[in-house]
Amino acid sequence: MAEMVVRKVGILSVAKIEGLLMFVVGLFIGVIYGLFFIIFGAGLMAAMAQRGGGEQALGGVGPIVIGVLMMIGFPIFYGVMGFVGGAIGALIYNIAAGVVGGIRLELEATTPQYGAPPQQYS
């Protein structure tokens, strides 16, 4: 087994990966919140319209627009914040690894070591 130490990470590469991962998380959260807001917000607007309150002309379009904006905005917001957070985290890691040392990893090869081909005798 080979023991290696991660002494430094690429700030931009960590930021891009973290931004992408958080974009995906934001996509799931945005879809869930957006659908929840569309379903229950439209139902609430319809109930208010039946009682004579609220905007009857819109007919529950407001919650639908807000729900769709959530589905678009959450992934973008989460992705940007993930990118910034990943860059800050990588910068802090590089500083800390310079002071106390990096993370030690034990690595094991999964492929057999290369051996020289057998010699052919004539």
pLDDT digits 0-9 by tens, 49-73: 666 655 555 555 788 888 999 999 9
With a pLDDT cut of 70, the percent of the chain lying above it is: 83
Inter-residue contact 42 to 64 (CB < 8 Å): yes
Inter-residue contact 39 to 88 (CB < 8 Å): no
Residue 108 — pLDDT band, cuts 50, 70, 90?
confident
- What residues contact 106, with CB distance under 8 A and at least 6 apart? 1, 2, 3
pLDDT digits 0-9 by tens, 19-29: 999 999 999 99
Instruction: Evaluate if residue 11 carries a pLDDT over 80.
Output: yes
Domain borders along the chain are 12-100
Instruction: Evaluate if residue 90 carries a pLDDT over 60.
Output: yes
Inter-residue contact 63 to 38 (CB < 8 Å): yes
pTM of the model: 0.74
Instruction: Evaluate if residue 37 carries a pLDDT over 90.
Output: no
Letter string b/e over residues 58-67, b meaning 16 or more CB atoms within 10 A of that residue's CB: eebeebbebb
70 three-class SS? helix
- What residues contact 53, with CB distance under 8 A and at least 6 apart? none
Inter-residue contact 9 to 105 (CB < 8 Å): no
pLDDT at residue 20, as a whole number? 98
pLDDT at residue 48, as a whole number? 65
Residue with the two structure tokens 């800390």: 96
